[in-house]
């Protein structure tokens, strides 16, 4: 026990360079509040001019610093492909193991803020070039910190990244209200970097506008100009990425050779018109608009869409519901399948 009147010694400073987060002075917390955590990750994307080459002179408009917003929000890693040699002289056990090639890929998951949505969606959907079109590539600089008490920064540069897929979802669950984007990433190779190459971002480097949500589509999900009121929405784009690997450790080329896109929505069963269109293979126009306080995002799928699946969910003790899957197609040879535009809110 401390002697009366003797001042307590000041707490010893922690040797780590990561300060502990301040605790809330309030004894009560709302259910949505999360406990402070020490995890820290850094991520910056930079558009590439030449595939697989970091653009050190990139303009600010061609870079974005993203905050990791959930567990395993960035899972891109280099993974060697192993070969094995067994030996009958050793009871058919492995006697030699190694690797001469590596694949680099993973996922990026985050909530879709209007401030950076166009940047990410363009990389996932915008075909560039004159005769032979392709998706643009980017470099991803990633940093995290060790858990050995020193809080040492560990950096990796991922070169020649392209988005192989994009999926955006929202519904009426707690966190599901917000529009979440999931991007599949395929990369060319990795390279070591340091804090000199990617300085720790300042708070002002991050966007903090409210992400889009399902509420932001009220009256603006139009199928043949008729507004829909779904309780869940799913927009998916799958790119066909063809890698080429010659006699090097990593791939040397990664080209987009096509894509598919579809929208899935679940809501009330209102009439039989959708089933009639589905069975009659009748084309549908589709347009989805998100509008919040800061930004507006419009997905215009044009008039060449088909309902390719209908799932009825008719319960005795609940509302009759219906899930529509609408596949998107080109307007015609040389045409477009869809366009996406993100602008400041009107």
CB 113 within 8 A of CB 209: yes
DSSP label at residue 114: H
SS3 144: strand
Q: Which two tokens stand for residue 178?
A: 């917000």
Identify the pLDDT of residue 13.
40
Mean pLDDT of the 258-276 span? 95
12 backbone dihedrals φ, ψ, rounded to 5°: -70, 140
What was the pLDDT predicted at 9?
A: 47
Tokens of 12: 């010893």
Cα atoms found within 13 Å of the Cα of residue 300, Cβ hemisphere only: 9
**100 contacts 83 by C-beta, under 8 angstroms:** yes
| pLDDT mean over 117-135 | 93
E-assigned strand segments in 196-294? 221-223, 226-227, 232-244, 253-268, 286-291
Q: Is 329 helix (H, G, I), strand (E, B) or coil?
A: coil
Q: What is the pLDDT of residues 160-209, one digit of tens each?
A: 999 999 999 999 999 999 999 999 999 999 999 999 999 999 999 999 99
| Average pLDDT of the segment spanning 300-310 | 96
Query: What is the Cα–Cα distance from 76 to 19, expressed in whole angstroms?
Result: 27
Please state the rounded mean pLDDT for residues 16-29. Answer: 42
């Amino acid at each position: 026990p401390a002697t009366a009147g003797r001042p307590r010694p000041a707490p010893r400073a922690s040797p780590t360079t990561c300060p502990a987060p301040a605790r809330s002075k309030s004894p009560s917390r709302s259910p949505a509040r999360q406990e402070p955590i020490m995890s820290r990750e850094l991520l910056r994307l930079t558009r590439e001019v030449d595939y697989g080459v970091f653009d050190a002179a990139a303009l600010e408009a061609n870079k974005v610093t993203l905050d990791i917003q959930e567990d395993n929000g960035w899972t891109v890693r280099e993974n060697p492909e192993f070969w094995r040699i067994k030996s009958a002289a050793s009871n058919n056990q492995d006697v030699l193991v190694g690797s001469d090639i590596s694949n680099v890929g993973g996922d990026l998951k985050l909530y879709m803020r209007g401030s950076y949505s166009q940047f990410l969606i363009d990389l996932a959907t915008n075909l560039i070039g004159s005769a032979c079109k392709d998706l643009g590539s980017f470099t991803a600089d990633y940093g995290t910190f060790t858990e050995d008490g020193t809080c040492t920064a560990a950096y990796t540069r991922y070169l020649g990244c392209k988005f192989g897929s994009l999926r955006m979802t929202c519904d009426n669950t707690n966190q599901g209200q917000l529009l979440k984007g999931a991007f599949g990433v395929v990369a060319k190779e990795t390279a070591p970097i340091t804090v000199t190459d990617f300085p720790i971002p300042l708070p002002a480097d991050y966007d903090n506008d409210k992400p889009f949500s399902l509420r932001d589509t009220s009256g603006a999900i139009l199928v043949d100009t008729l507004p829909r009121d779904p309780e869940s929405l799913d927009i998916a784009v799958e790119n066909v990425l063809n890698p080429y690997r010659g006699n090097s450790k990593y791939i040397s080329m990664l080209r987009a050779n096509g894509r598919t896109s579809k929208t899935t929505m679940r809501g009330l069963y209102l009439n039989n018109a959708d089933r009639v269109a589905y069975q009659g293979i009748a084309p549908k126009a589709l347009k989805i608009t998100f509008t919040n306080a800061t930004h507006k995002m419009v997905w215009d799928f044009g008039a060449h869409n088909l309902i390719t699946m209908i799932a009825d969910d008719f319960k005795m003790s609940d509302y009759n519901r219906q899930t529509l899957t609408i596949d998107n197609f080109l307007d015609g040879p040389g045409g477009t399948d869809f366009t996406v535009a993100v602008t400041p809110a009107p």
